[in-house]
Amino acid sequence: MKLKSYNILFRILSYLSDRTNGAPIFVKYKLLLGTLIIGIAGTTAHAQKKAEVSCYDTIPLCTPKNKELTTKNTILLGSQSNKNDSLIEKKGRVKDEHGEFIAGVSIVVKGTKNGAVSDINGAFSIKAKSTDKLIFSFVGMESREMSVSTMRGGEVIITMKDSDMILCYEVVVVRHYPDDIYRRTPKKVTKLPYTEVQTVPVSPVGNLESFQKWVQNNIQYSEQMKKDKLKGEVILSFAIDKKGKLVDKKVIGKLSKEADKEALRALSLSEAWKPGINYDGKPIKTTMTISINFGNE
């Protein structure tokens, strides 16, 4: 029975008690009913309070859990970002097309001032991000750009190519410093023109002009070149190493496939030279160019 019904019954008993001048039976039931109503009212109020507290207390309890989850996700994303932005050390060695390691190569992180220089063994070490790119540059050679992400494994070998430039009788001078564990200065590489070399290389037929004429006289015209009435010049680049051997032969000014091939053939007929001598009295590798004319036979 609901509390409202008990209240109505209590009022009826109170009315009868008043009308009968306080009859014992009505007074007795009135008191019992009043006690019952008070007990039921207290129980109902307690239940409502419990339900109210439970309702409002449950919602805040969910909030810290969501907040903790969000915080963990934020920390995870932050850790991932820091991982991508962290610097990693990359080591390697730089060499030329002939397999010789190069000192003094500049290695720079693209778009920054962070850089390094290869030592006397061509070795280098630089710190960069996995998303960075490294630029390798050296005088007389083509610059290279390489992504750090592609430089996998331990020591990376970087090969640099000679640039297609005309070097007119130019001498490459390499100065070596004594081995010193405390010296971190890489060996310096400089180039001196022919007029500043103490002793220039000498061909089997004389100076450079005489050698150019000798190569010109060894040119043989094929029937096809005669038929095409080929006319023009081929520019050749080559070097005389420290032992006087003719090396690094290549065409840097082309005319035609047949003419280029014939010019290189005539150049290769040369015997050993006397190598160039540097100011320290030691042989030095010398690079030079000559031009061969076609159509003037």
Instruction: Quote the CA–CA distance of 104 and 137 in Å, as a whole number.
Output: 9
205-214 pLDDT tens trace: 999 899 999 9
Nearest to 43 by CA among 230, 140, 35: 35
pLDDT at 72 over 60: no
Specify the long-range contacts of residues 34-43, CB closer than 8 Å, at least 24 apart. 34/10, 36/6, 37/3, 37/6, 37/7, 37/10, 40/3, 40/6, 41/3
Q: How confident is the model at residue 176 (pLDDT cuts 50, 70, 90)?
A: very low
- How does the average pLDDT of the chain come out, rounded? 75
C-alpha to C-alpha distances, 89 to 86, 124, 254, nearest whole angstrom: 10, 10, 44
Instruction: Quote the CA–CA distance of 119 and 187 in Å, as a whole number.
Output: 7
81-140 pLDDT tens trace: 455 568 889 899 999 888 889 988 999 999 988 889 999 888 999 999 989 999 999 887
Tell me the whole-structure pTM to 2 decimals. Answer: 0.39
So what's the pLDDT on residue 267? 95
Sign of CA dihedral 85, 90, 96, 99: negative
C-alpha to C-alpha distances, 274 to 141, 200, 240, 268, 269, nearest whole angstrom: 26, 9, 8, 16, 16
Pairing of strands 133-137, 106-109: antiparallel
Nearest to 262 by CA among 290, 236, 288: 236
So what's the pLDDT on residue 7? 65
**How many other C-beta atoms are found inside a 10 Å radius of the C-beta of residue 241?**
17
| Best mean pLDDT range from 21-30, 167-176, 185-194 | 21-30
Instruction: Quote the CA–CA distance of 271 and 245 in Å, as a whole number.
Output: 8
Which whole number is the average pLDDT over 49-62? Answer: 47
More confident residue, 7 or 191: 7
More confident residue, 45 or 244: 244
More confident residue, 32 or 228: 228
Q: How confident is the model at residue 166 (pLDDT cuts 50, 70, 90)?
A: very low
Q: How confident is the model at residue 183 (pLDDT cuts 50, 70, 90)?
A: very low
For 194, residues 6+ apart whose C-beta sits below 8 A from its C-beta are: 168, 169, 170, 171, 200
Instruction: Quote the CA–CA distance of 202 and 49 in Å, as a whole number.
Output: 112
Instruction: Quote the CA–CA distance of 136 and 141 in Å, as a whole number.
Output: 10
pLDDT at 200 over 70: yes
Q: Give 271's strand partners.
A: none
Q: Determine the residue type at 200.
A: V
pLDDT at 186 over 90: no
C-alpha to C-alpha distances, 262 to 150, 235, 240, nearest whole angstrom: 41, 12, 20
